[in-house]
Amino acid sequence: MIRIVLKPGKEQSVRRFHPWIFSGAIKGMDGLPANGEIVEVYSSAAEKLGTGHYAEGSISVRLFAFGTEAIDEKFWYSKIAAAFELRRKSGLTDNPDNTIYRLINAEGDGLPGLIIDIYGETAVLQTHDRGMHSLRFIFTEALKEIYGAKLKAVFDKSSEKLLKMGVETKNSYLFGKQESRICKENGLMFEIDWETGQKTGFFIDQRDNRKLLGVYSKGKKVLNTFCYTGGFSAYALYAGASLVHSLDSSRRALELTGDMVRLNNFDDQRHNCIKADAVEYLKNLDIDYDIIVLDPPAFAKHLSARHKAVQGYRKINEAALRQIKKGGIIFTFSCSQAVDKNLFNSTVLAAAIAARRKVRVLHQLHHPCDHPISIFHPEGEYLKGLVLEVE
């Protein structure tokens, strides 16, 4: 294995279990690793600090092991088994009413570059780098051993992510074949399209926040913008909202939302799909919605796009704040990693000032427990939300 030696002092963050080695921290290497190759990282005093995947770019190594741990099949198995145990502890692995959860949350589970989501009897794996992708069959074997007969298929959904790195792959089944796509989240049914859908097919990270929307929705008129599969709409309908409008600019998203309404036998007199640009629609509302959900896609995927993203968040929040009726509630989110909690909060504050509305924060939201964050890697925190009451 190629050894990478850090500059003096640069071992500090590794000792604090931060998993990234930036290129500027490297003093030297005893070879030139290929992208995705496993490398060992040493301090300038020749102490082994950990093992990780090498990649060209500003983050040169992503560590999956700290100290001197041996990396073999047992190592990978134990990582997946530990992640399973964590989900078991929080009651996610054996709940017939909730068959959707995240099993591996990259750095949060000590496996940078790897996501595994569970949809009923199918596991959907998404790797974000070459190194993790080369291990996909080892992960599949570990999943088969841990889940036994409960696992019928493993689907690899890495191609879009890897293409950005210049690696061409095809999304395909690594084990089994297509099984039922109908899964449950808190008792509500969704048909998950992991083959062509966004992310691994569903936005699992909003599970707890969608449930909270249900608490506020009885008898209310709800506008769910950026609805995708209609996750928030499902909870509002179930809770007895008097009217739910699901808005998205994508026709496919609205088809999926329509499927969700039929699948759950919701009375579709109360539900309507709106194909529109959310920003345009919010400029002038004809309906006095009681609740507006704003869950846009990541406006900033990189730091360089942060400024533009902030303007985007400010614009939609200001429009919703201007338009919502007196006493209305806004569920507003950002899933951009580059926009942290403080920046998001001050952006919403700026929107409230511009809209000249008096606003109180009722809840501060984030991702659920199956999306754990290493306390040493705050960069892993990406989903932030606020529930606002607007006087």
- Residues within the interface to ligand SAH (CB under 6 A): 203, 206, 226-229, 231-232, 248-250, 253, 277-279, 295-297
- Other beta carbons within 10 Å of 58: 9
Instruction: Output 59 or 369, the one with its CB closest to ligand SAH.
Output: 369
Q: Report helix, strand or coil for 268.
A: coil
CB of 81 to ligand SAH, least distance (A): 29
Q: Residue 40 or 117: which CB sits closer to ligand SAH?
A: 117
Q: How do strand 243-248 and strand 271-275 relate by DSSP bridges?
A: parallel
How many other C-beta atoms can be found within 10 angstroms of the C-beta atom of residue 126? Answer: 26
Quick one: tokens of 350? 């700026």
In the complex, minimum distance from the CB of residue 226 to ligand SAH, in angstroms, rounded to a whole number: 3
The single-letter code of the amino acid at 53 is: H
In degrees and rounded to multiples of 5, residue 128 shows phi and psi of -105, 0
CB of 199 to ligand SAH, least distance (A): 8
Instruction: With beta carbons less than 8 A apart as the criterion, state whether 220 and 197 touch.
Output: no
Give 151 or 254: the residue with its C-beta nearer to ligand SAH: 254
CB of 202 to ligand SAH, least distance (A): 7
Q: Which two tokens stand for residue 11?
A: 């071992």
Select 35 or 98, whichever has its Cβ closest to ligand SAH: 98
Task: State in angstroms the smallest separation of the CB of 143 from ligand SAH.
Answer: 24
**Is the CB of residue 340 less than 8 Å from the CB of residue 309?**
no
Residues facing residue 63 across a β-bridge = 52
Kindly tell me which of 53 and 161 has the beta carbon lying closer to ligand SAH.
161
Minimum Å gap between C-beta 316 and ligand SAH is 9
118 DSSP β-pair partners: 101, 123
What is the Cα–Cα distance from 368 to 364, expressed in whole angstroms? 12
Write the CA distances from 309 to 50, 161, 296, 304, integer angstroms. 35, 21, 11, 10
Q: Which is nearer to ligand SAH, 42 or 289 (CB)?
A: 289
